[in-house]
Amino acid sequence: MPAGEYAKDRPEAEQRFKRYVYEDAIAKVKLDKLRRRHVKGWRERLAAQPALVSRRKKGNPVERERAPSTVNRDMAVLRAALSKVLSPGAPNSEAAWQEALKAIPNANGRRTLYLDRTQRKTLIESSDAEAAPFVRALCLLPLRPGAMAALTAGDFDKRTSELTIGKDKTGKPRRIQLPQEAAQLLAKQAKNKLPGAPLFMRANGKAWDKDSWKRPIATAVAAAELPADATAYTLRHSTITDLVSAGLPLLTIAQISGTSAEMIERHYGHLASDAAVKALGELAL
Protein backbone atom coordinates (compact mmCIF):
# COMPACT_ATOMS: atom_id res chain seq x y z
CA MET A 1 0.00 0.00 0.00
CA PRO A 2 1.25 3.56 -0.75
CA ALA A 3 0.24 4.84 2.68
CA GLY A 4 3.76 5.20 4.04
CA GLU A 5 4.98 7.44 1.24
CA TYR A 6 1.84 9.58 1.31
CA ALA A 7 1.97 10.03 5.09
CA LYS A 8 5.68 10.88 5.21
CA ASP A 9 4.98 14.61 5.61
CA ARG A 10 1.44 14.27 6.96
CA PRO A 11 1.50 13.34 10.69
CA GLU A 12 -2.29 13.16 11.01
CA ALA A 13 -2.55 10.80 8.03
CA GLU A 14 0.22 8.65 9.49
CA GLN A 15 -1.71 8.30 12.74
CA ARG A 16 -4.87 7.21 10.90
CA PHE A 17 -2.92 4.69 8.82
CA LYS A 18 -1.38 3.22 11.98
CA ARG A 19 -4.81 2.83 13.54
CA TYR A 20 -6.85 1.61 10.59
CA VAL A 21 -4.70 0.50 7.62
CA TYR A 22 -1.32 -0.99 8.51
CA GLU A 23 -2.77 -3.77 10.70
CA ASP A 24 -5.75 -4.44 8.43
CA ALA A 25 -5.94 -7.13 5.75
CA ILE A 26 -6.03 -4.46 3.03
CA ALA A 27 -2.38 -3.61 3.76
CA LYS A 28 -1.38 -7.01 2.32
CA VAL A 29 -3.16 -6.48 -1.01
CA LYS A 30 -0.85 -5.54 -3.89
CA LEU A 31 -1.85 -2.39 -5.74
CA ASP A 32 -2.34 -4.13 -9.08
CA LYS A 33 -4.65 -6.62 -7.36
CA LEU A 34 -6.72 -4.07 -5.45
CA ARG A 35 -10.43 -4.37 -6.20
CA ARG A 36 -13.62 -2.73 -5.00
CA ARG A 37 -14.43 -5.67 -2.72
CA HIS A 38 -11.13 -5.20 -0.85
CA VAL A 39 -11.82 -1.53 -0.20
CA LYS A 40 -15.48 -2.16 0.58
CA GLY A 41 -14.48 -4.75 3.18
CA TRP A 42 -12.00 -2.33 4.74
CA ARG A 43 -14.65 0.38 4.90
CA GLU A 44 -17.13 -1.95 6.61
CA ARG A 45 -14.53 -2.97 9.19
CA LEU A 46 -13.65 0.68 9.80
CA ALA A 47 -17.28 1.72 10.30
CA ALA A 48 -17.80 -1.17 12.74
CA GLN A 49 -14.97 -0.01 15.02
CA PRO A 50 -16.08 2.08 18.01
CA ALA A 51 -14.58 5.55 18.27
CA LEU A 52 -12.48 6.29 21.34
CA VAL A 53 -13.80 9.18 23.44
CA SER A 54 -11.22 9.02 26.23
CA ARG A 55 -8.76 6.70 27.92
CA ARG A 56 -9.03 5.96 31.63
CA LYS A 57 -6.20 5.02 33.95
CA LYS A 58 -8.52 2.49 35.55
CA GLY A 59 -11.31 0.53 33.94
CA ASN A 60 -12.36 0.30 30.30
CA PRO A 61 -11.84 3.16 27.83
CA VAL A 62 -14.85 5.33 27.00
CA GLU A 63 -16.07 4.59 23.46
CA ARG A 64 -19.01 5.43 21.23
CA GLU A 65 -20.36 4.32 17.88
CA ARG A 66 -18.31 5.72 15.02
CA ALA A 67 -20.14 8.68 13.50
CA PRO A 68 -20.53 9.02 9.70
CA SER A 69 -18.43 12.21 9.79
CA THR A 70 -15.63 10.29 11.53
CA VAL A 71 -15.80 7.52 8.93
CA ASN A 72 -15.51 10.16 6.21
CA ARG A 73 -12.36 11.66 7.77
CA ASP A 74 -10.76 8.24 8.21
CA MET A 75 -11.56 7.23 4.62
CA ALA A 76 -10.32 10.50 3.14
CA VAL A 77 -6.64 9.83 3.80
CA LEU A 78 -6.71 6.36 2.21
CA ARG A 79 -8.62 7.73 -0.78
CA ALA A 80 -6.04 10.50 -1.18
CA ALA A 81 -3.11 8.07 -0.90
CA LEU A 82 -4.55 5.64 -3.46
CA SER A 83 -5.40 8.49 -5.84
CA LYS A 84 -1.69 9.35 -5.99
CA VAL A 85 -0.81 5.98 -7.52
CA LEU A 86 -4.01 4.51 -8.99
CA SER A 87 -6.34 5.72 -11.70
CA PRO A 88 -10.07 5.42 -11.03
CA GLY A 89 -11.50 2.14 -12.28
CA ALA A 90 -14.40 1.80 -14.68
CA PRO A 91 -17.71 2.68 -12.93
CA ASN A 92 -19.69 -0.22 -11.47
CA SER A 93 -16.83 -2.66 -11.98
CA GLU A 94 -14.60 -4.52 -9.53
CA ALA A 95 -11.76 -2.26 -10.67
CA ALA A 96 -13.64 0.79 -9.39
CA TRP A 97 -11.86 0.85 -6.03
CA GLN A 98 -12.77 4.52 -5.62
CA GLU A 99 -16.51 3.81 -5.42
CA ALA A 100 -16.14 2.10 -2.05
CA LEU A 101 -14.49 5.22 -0.62
CA LYS A 102 -17.17 7.75 -1.53
CA ALA A 103 -17.93 10.04 1.38
CA ILE A 104 -21.19 9.60 3.27
CA PRO A 105 -23.36 12.57 2.19
CA ASN A 106 -24.59 15.06 4.79
CA ALA A 107 -22.54 13.28 7.44
CA ASN A 108 -21.88 16.38 9.49
CA GLY A 109 -25.51 17.45 9.70
CA ARG A 110 -26.57 20.47 11.73
CA ARG A 111 -24.71 21.17 14.97
CA THR A 112 -27.33 20.68 17.66
CA LEU A 113 -25.58 20.32 21.02
CA TYR A 114 -25.27 23.76 22.59
CA LEU A 115 -23.75 24.69 25.95
CA ASP A 116 -24.88 28.02 27.31
CA ARG A 117 -22.55 30.42 29.14
CA THR A 118 -23.36 28.99 32.56
CA GLN A 119 -22.64 25.45 31.37
CA ARG A 120 -19.38 26.52 29.76
CA LYS A 121 -18.32 28.31 32.94
CA THR A 122 -19.06 25.14 34.91
CA LEU A 123 -17.00 23.14 32.41
CA ILE A 124 -14.02 25.46 32.88
CA GLU A 125 -14.32 25.22 36.66
CA SER A 126 -14.48 21.41 36.40
CA SER A 127 -11.36 21.21 34.23
CA ASP A 128 -7.99 20.39 35.79
CA ALA A 129 -5.39 23.12 36.13
CA GLU A 130 -3.47 21.95 33.06
CA ALA A 131 -6.45 21.94 30.68
CA ALA A 132 -8.45 24.88 32.07
CA PRO A 133 -6.69 27.67 30.09
CA PHE A 134 -7.13 25.74 26.83
CA VAL A 135 -10.79 24.99 27.58
CA ARG A 136 -11.43 28.61 28.57
CA ALA A 137 -9.89 29.84 25.31
CA LEU A 138 -12.22 27.53 23.35
CA CYS A 139 -15.14 29.07 25.25
CA LEU A 140 -14.03 32.61 24.41
CA LEU A 141 -13.01 32.29 20.76
CA PRO A 142 -14.78 30.37 17.95
CA LEU A 143 -11.62 28.67 16.69
CA ARG A 144 -11.24 25.03 15.74
CA PRO A 145 -9.56 23.15 18.60
CA GLY A 146 -6.69 22.15 16.33
CA ALA A 147 -6.06 25.76 15.33
CA MET A 148 -6.15 26.85 18.97
CA ALA A 149 -3.71 24.11 19.96
CA ALA A 150 -1.30 25.10 17.16
CA LEU A 151 -0.96 28.71 18.33
CA THR A 152 2.46 29.85 19.53
CA ALA A 153 3.37 32.68 21.87
CA GLY A 154 4.59 34.70 18.90
CA ASP A 155 1.15 34.56 17.29
CA PHE A 156 -0.26 36.93 19.93
CA ASP A 157 0.59 40.64 19.87
CA LYS A 158 -0.01 41.99 23.36
CA ARG A 159 0.41 45.62 22.23
CA THR A 160 -2.52 45.50 19.80
CA SER A 161 -4.48 42.54 21.26
CA GLU A 162 -4.28 40.87 17.85
CA LEU A 163 -3.94 37.16 17.17
CA THR A 164 -2.51 35.59 14.02
CA ILE A 165 -4.01 32.18 13.26
CA GLY A 166 -1.73 30.31 10.90
CA LYS A 167 -2.58 26.60 11.04
CA ASP A 168 -6.24 26.06 10.25
CA LYS A 169 -8.53 24.26 7.83
CA THR A 170 -8.52 27.23 5.45
CA GLY A 171 -4.75 26.98 5.02
CA LYS A 172 -4.43 30.79 4.95
CA PRO A 173 -3.18 32.80 7.93
CA ARG A 174 -5.60 35.39 9.28
CA ARG A 175 -5.34 38.09 11.92
CA ILE A 176 -8.17 38.91 14.32
CA GLN A 177 -8.75 41.51 17.01
CA LEU A 178 -9.43 39.99 20.43
CA PRO A 179 -11.95 41.14 23.03
CA GLN A 180 -10.49 42.17 26.39
CA GLU A 181 -11.13 38.92 28.29
CA ALA A 182 -9.59 36.75 25.57
CA ALA A 183 -6.62 39.12 25.20
CA GLN A 184 -5.93 38.95 28.94
CA LEU A 185 -6.02 35.16 28.88
CA LEU A 186 -3.62 34.94 25.94
CA ALA A 187 -1.29 37.54 27.45
CA LYS A 188 -1.03 35.41 30.57
CA GLN A 189 -0.34 32.28 28.51
CA ALA A 190 2.33 34.03 26.42
CA LYS A 191 4.17 35.52 29.39
CA ASN A 192 7.87 34.53 29.61
CA LYS A 193 7.60 32.19 26.60
CA LEU A 194 9.77 32.18 23.50
CA PRO A 195 7.89 33.12 20.30
CA GLY A 196 7.93 29.53 19.03
CA ALA A 197 6.66 27.96 22.24
CA PRO A 198 3.08 26.60 22.37
CA LEU A 199 0.74 29.32 23.58
CA PHE A 200 -1.28 26.69 25.44
CA MET A 201 1.44 24.45 26.82
CA ARG A 202 0.86 21.15 28.57
CA ALA A 203 2.78 20.14 31.67
CA ASN A 204 5.23 18.18 29.49
CA GLY A 205 6.05 21.28 27.45
CA LYS A 206 4.16 20.09 24.37
CA ALA A 207 1.15 21.57 22.61
CA TRP A 208 -2.31 20.07 22.97
CA ASP A 209 -3.65 17.78 20.25
CA LYS A 210 -6.86 15.85 19.72
CA ASP A 211 -5.50 12.77 21.51
CA SER A 212 -4.41 14.71 24.60
CA TRP A 213 -7.40 17.04 25.03
CA LYS A 214 -10.10 14.33 24.72
CA ARG A 215 -9.61 12.78 28.13
CA PRO A 216 -9.47 15.95 30.29
CA ILE A 217 -12.46 17.47 28.50
CA ALA A 218 -14.47 14.26 28.80
CA THR A 219 -13.58 14.10 32.51
CA ALA A 220 -14.63 17.73 33.01
CA VAL A 221 -17.87 17.14 31.10
CA ALA A 222 -18.73 14.27 33.45
CA ALA A 223 -17.77 16.25 36.56
CA ALA A 224 -19.89 19.20 35.41
CA GLU A 225 -22.81 16.84 34.69
CA LEU A 226 -23.09 18.11 31.11
CA PRO A 227 -24.35 16.05 28.13
CA ALA A 228 -21.93 13.14 27.64
CA ASP A 229 -21.41 13.87 23.94
CA ALA A 230 -20.07 17.38 24.57
CA THR A 231 -16.59 17.77 23.04
CA ALA A 232 -14.05 20.45 22.23
CA TYR A 233 -15.93 21.11 18.99
CA THR A 234 -19.13 21.68 20.99
CA LEU A 235 -17.45 24.75 22.50
CA ARG A 236 -16.72 26.18 19.04
CA HIS A 237 -20.32 25.60 17.98
CA SER A 238 -21.66 27.15 21.18
CA THR A 239 -19.50 30.27 20.79
CA ILE A 240 -20.53 30.74 17.16
CA THR A 241 -24.15 30.27 18.18
CA ASP A 242 -23.84 33.10 20.71
CA LEU A 243 -22.22 35.40 18.15
CA VAL A 244 -24.96 34.77 15.59
CA SER A 245 -27.71 35.16 18.20
CA ALA A 246 -26.16 38.47 19.28
CA GLY A 247 -26.64 39.79 15.75
CA LEU A 248 -22.99 39.95 14.64
CA PRO A 249 -22.78 39.96 10.81
CA LEU A 250 -22.39 36.44 9.43
CA LEU A 251 -19.43 37.49 7.25
CA THR A 252 -17.61 38.81 10.33
CA ILE A 253 -18.28 35.59 12.23
CA ALA A 254 -17.03 33.59 9.25
CA GLN A 255 -13.79 35.58 9.15
CA ILE A 256 -13.17 35.21 12.88
CA SER A 257 -13.96 31.48 12.98
CA GLY A 258 -12.07 30.63 9.79
CA THR A 259 -14.90 29.28 7.70
CA SER A 260 -17.08 30.52 4.85
CA ALA A 261 -20.12 32.74 5.18
CA GLU A 262 -21.98 30.03 3.27
CA MET A 263 -21.22 27.48 6.00
CA ILE A 264 -22.27 29.90 8.73
CA GLU A 265 -25.49 30.61 6.85
CA ARG A 266 -26.14 26.89 6.32
CA HIS A 267 -25.71 25.87 9.95
CA TYR A 268 -26.63 29.04 11.83
CA GLY A 269 -28.75 31.13 9.46
CA HIS A 270 -31.94 30.29 11.34
CA LEU A 271 -30.47 31.91 14.45
CA ALA A 272 -29.71 35.08 12.53
CA SER A 273 -33.35 35.19 11.46
CA ASP A 274 -34.47 34.74 15.07
CA ALA A 275 -32.17 37.57 16.17
CA ALA A 276 -33.64 39.84 13.49
CA VAL A 277 -37.19 39.02 14.58
CA LYS A 278 -36.26 39.77 18.20
CA ALA A 279 -34.73 43.12 17.19
CA LEU A 280 -37.88 44.05 15.26
CA GLY A 281 -39.96 43.09 18.26
CA GLU A 282 -38.00 45.46 20.45
CA LEU A 283 -38.88 48.30 18.05
CA ALA A 284 -42.61 47.71 18.53
CA LEU A 285 -44.51 50.54 20.22
Is the four-CA dihedral 195, 200, 201, 206 of positive or negative sign? negative
Mean pLDDT of the chain: 86
The dihedral region occupied by 214, where left means phi > 0, alpha psi between -120 and 50, and beta the remainder, is: alpha
- Chain segment 198-244, per-residue pLDDT in tens: 999 999 999 999 899 999 999 999 999 999 889 999 999 999 999 99
Given a cut of 90, whether residue 155 has pLDDT beyond it is yes
Domains, in order of start, for the chain: 3-101 (no CATH), 117-282 (1.10.443.10)
73-77, 93-97, 158-162 — most confident range: 158-162
The Cα 9–Cα 3 span in angstroms is 11
**What's the rounded mean pLDDT across residues 106-130?**
85
pLDDT tens profile 178-188: 999 999 999 99
11: enclosing H helix or E strand: helix 11-20
Confidence (pTM)? 0.64
